[in-house]
Amino acid sequence: MHWIHSDLERLVAKEVSYQGRPGGLLEIPKDRSHGDLTTSACLTGEGPSRTRGWAWAQEVEGSLHRSITGDASLSRSIEKVEAVRPGFINFFLKPSYLKSFLPHWIQSAGDLGPLQFGNGERVVIEFVSANPTGPLTIAHGRQAAVGDTLARLLQRAGFEVTKEYYLNDVGNQMRILGASLFSHYLEACGRPAQFPDDGYKGGYLRELAQELYRREEGGWLDSEGAQLERFTDFAASKILQGIREDLEEFDVRFDVWFSEKKLHAGGAIAKVLDRLRQDGWLYEAEGALWLKSTRAGDDKDRVVRKSDGGLTYLAADIAYHQDKFARGFNRLINILGPDHHGYVPRLKASVESLGFSKDQLSVIIVQLTTLFRNGQPVRMSTREGEFVTLHELVREVGRDAARFFFLMRRSESPLDFDLELAKSQSQANPVYYLQYAHTRIASLGRFAGALGEPAAGDFDRLEAQEETELMRLLWQYPYLLVKCAELLAPHLVTVYLKDLAQAFHTFYDRHRVVSDDASLTRARLGLARAVQAVLKDGLGILGVTAPEKM
C-alpha cells in the first residue's frame, strides 16, 4: 500500500518554499467538490510571493501538474490538480488509486499496525491522577477516556508511550482524609466525634469506618497522633484499591503509578530547588522562596516554599517533571481537570526553568461532564459528597457507551451526557449505530466464504457514488490518525467513525451487496470487509468493542 500524501506534501513544499512543520501543508477538505486534498499554501506562504494569492496558485498549479505527470507513482494516483480562487490548490485522486487500498484493509482484518509518524519518540502521558481521597467520579472518567484513547492513538502513530498516574498522597488533603475517617470511626465505636472542617462527607468513608470497626472494634483508639496516620494510610490504601478496580473495569491500565511520597522521601524536591537556585531561577522575598516564572511567560512569580517552611504543590511538580525528563522522555503530556486551567503557565515555566523547551510539555484541560436523566441535569456536589462515580456510570450504561460518549466532544468543551440515549438500542445512539454497522458486515461473512476472495478486476465494478464515498473515507483513515495524534484530539476519531458508519448504512440500504453477479458481489463484499476492518480498528482505539452479533 503506497499512501501518496507524504510524497505530494514534499512536492508542494518544494514549490512554495515551505519551511513549516511536517504535515501542515495538506488538508482533507470538508466539501467534496474541493477534491480529496487541498492546500492554502499560496495564500499563507511566507516570502515575496505571499501577496500574489490567485496568480501564484495558478503558477504553482502548472508546475505541480508537470511534476506529477513526470512521477510514475503520483501520476497513477492523482487525476487532476486545480487552482481555485482566492488561491487554493485542490487535488483529485483517481478511483483506481482509492480501490488499490481495499486489499490492504481486507487483509489487515482490523489490525492495521503502527504508522511511522512518531518515529519511536518517547512520550509520557499523565492522566486521571485523582487524589486517593475518594472514588473516581464521572469527571475523572472523562479524563481517563481521553488519556487512554490518546495513548492508543499515539502508539498507533508510532510513538513509544508510557501511561502514568501521579499519586498526590501527601499534604493537607491526606490529613483531612485521615481525620474524616477517624471521626466516622469514633461514631461507629459509639464515641462522641467532631467532624473536621472541610472533611470528606461521602458515604464511602462511613462504609470504610464500619469495615474498620468490624475488624478492629475499638482497638485503634489510642494516642491521636498515631491514630491519624494509621487512619490516613488505611483510607488511602482502600480508596486506591477501588480506583485501580474502577479503572480496570473501564479498560484503562497504567504503566506507572508514581507516588509523590517518593519525591519527598528521596530528597528530589530539595535537590531540584538547590539546582534552580544555583541557576538563578529562585529568590527569597517575604520569608518565602519564589520561582521567577515571569521569565518564562507566567503572569506572576510563584511560591515554591512558603514562609512557614512548607512546600507548595508547584515544588513537587517541578521535581516530578524533572524526574520524567531524567527517565528519558522527550515529550510530556499532562491531562488535567478544569480547575487547573490557571496552573498551565506555571507548569510551562517550570519546564523551562529545568532547561527544556516549553513546547516539550503539552497540557490538555478536560472540561466537566453534566449527566442528564429524562432531560434534566443530575445534581452533583463533590463537597457535599453527592456525585456519580465512574463505577456507577459504567454499571448503568456500559463501558462502551461511557467511553464513546466521553469522547464525542473536544476535551476543552463541556460535555452533556444523555443517560437515556447512551442506554438506548436505537440508531440515535451513536455507539449502537457504529456497532450495528460492524455486525451488519459480519453477517455477510458466510457469503464471502462461499465466493472466495475478490479476483483481479472485481473492484473495477465499484462505480456507484456510495461506493466511491466509502473508498474515499477508507483512504482518509491513516491521515486522520496522524492528524489526531498531531493535534492531540481523540474526539476526531468518533466523528470519523460516525461518518464511515453513516456512509456504509447508506450504501447498504441503496445497493444489493449479494446478487447473482458473482464479480460485483465479491467486490461489494470486499468493500464491506474493508469498512469492517477500519471500524474495528477505530473502535479499538476508542476502547469500544466491535461485536460480531447484537
Residues 58 and 86 in one domain: yes
Q: Is residue 508 part of a domain?
A: yes
Q: Is residue 459 part of a domain?
A: yes
Residues in the chain: 550
Predicted confidence band at 381 (pLDDT cuts at 50, 70, 90)? low
Mean pLDDT of the 233-258 span? 98
Q: What secondary structure does DSSP assign to 377-393, as a single string?
A: EPP-BTTTTB--BHHHH
Please count the other Cβ atoms lying within 10 Å of the Cβ belonging to residue 278: 9
pLDDT digit string, tens, across residues 431-443: 999 999 999 999 9
What CATH number has the domain bearing residue 278?
3.40.50.620
Q: Is residue 407 part of a domain?
A: no
- Least confident piece of the model among 45-49, 191-195, 284-288: 45-49
Predicted confidence band at 52 (pLDDT cuts at 50, 70, 90)? low
Residues 281 and 189 in one domain: no
**Percentage above 90 pLDDT, the chain:** 76
State the average pLDDT for the chain: 92
Model pTM score: 0.93
Residues 227 and 260 in one domain: no
| CA 25 to chain CA centroid, nearest Å | 24
pLDDT of residue 219: 78
Residues 142 and 278 in one domain: yes
Is the pLDDT confidence value at 48 over 70?
Answer: no
pLDDT of residue 47: 45
Residues 161 and 307 in one domain: yes
Q: Is residue 65 part of a domain?
A: yes
State the cell numbers at 309.
517552611
Is the pLDDT confidence value at 111 over 90?
Answer: no
Residues 154 and 284 in one domain: yes
Is the pLDDT confidence value at 225 over 90?
Answer: no
Distances (CA, A) of 397 to 61, 137, 174, 250, 391: 52, 15, 32, 12, 10
Q: Is 126 within 8 Å of 335 (Cβ atoms)? A: yes
Predicted confidence band at 521 (pLDDT cuts at 50, 70, 90)? very high
pLDDT of residue 43: 86
Residues 189 and 76 in one domain: no
Q: Is 535 within 8 Å of 500 (Cβ atoms)? A: yes
Is the pLDDT confidence value at 102 over 80?
Answer: yes
Q: Is 455 within 8 Å of 522 (Cβ atoms)? A: yes
Distance, in Å, from the CA atom of 164 to the CA atom of 127, rounded to the nearest integer, reads 7
Residues 151 and 262 in one domain: yes
pLDDT of residue 46: 56
Q: Look at residues 249, 279, 300 and tell me which one is the last residue of a structural domain.
A: 249
Q: Phi and psi at residue 154, in whole multiples of 5°? A: -65, -35
Mean pLDDT of the 231-253 span? 97
Strands (E), 115-259: 122-126, 160-167, 256-259
Q: Is residue 483 part of a domain?
A: yes
Predicted confidence band at 15 (pLDDT cuts at 50, 70, 90)? confident
Residues 537 and 452 in one domain: yes
Predicted confidence band at 469 (pLDDT cuts at 50, 70, 90)? very high
pLDDT of residue 24: 72
Is the pLDDT confidence value at 289 over 50?
Answer: yes
Q: Is 200 within 8 Å of 385 (Cβ atoms)? A: yes
Q: Is 108 within 8 Å of 102 (Cβ atoms)? A: no
pLDDT of residue 20: 65
Q: Which DSSP letter does residue 196 get?
A: P
Residues 293 and 351 in one domain: yes
Q: Is 301 within 8 Å of 276 (Cβ atoms)? A: no
Mean pLDDT of the 337-353 span? 95
What CATH number has the domain bearing residue 457?
1.10.730.10
pLDDT of residue 408: 98
Residues 295 and 431 in one domain: no
Distance, in Å, from the CA atom of 405 to the CA atom of 426, rounded to the nearest integer, reads 15
pLDDT digit string, tens, across residues 86-95: 999 999 999 9
Q: Look at residues 234, 249, 264 and tell me which one is the last residue of a structural domain.
A: 249
pLDDT of residue 115: 81
Mean pLDDT of the 187-192 span? 89
Higher pLDDT, 105 or 302: 302
Is the pLDDT confidence value at 49 over 60?
Answer: no
Q: Look at residues 333, 365, 397 and tell me which one is the last residue of a structural domain.
A: 365
Residue bearing cell 518544494 = 14
Q: Is residue 537 part of a domain?
A: yes
pLDDT of residue 138: 97
Is the pLDDT confidence value at 12 over 50?
Answer: yes
Q: Is residue 399 part of a domain?
A: no
pLDDT digit string, tens, across residues 138-174: 999 999 999 999 999 999 999 999 999 999 999 999 9
State the cell numbers at 146.
481521553
Residues 143 and 261 in one domain: yes
Number of structural domains found in the chain: 4
Mean pLDDT of the 385-396 span? 89
Is the pLDDT confidence value at 50 over 60?
Answer: no
Higher pLDDT, 1 or 190: 190
Q: Is 525 within 8 Å of 462 (Cβ atoms)? A: no
Q: Is residue 224 part of a domain?
A: yes
Write out the residue range of the structural domain in which residue 78 sits: 5-93
pLDDT of residue 535: 97
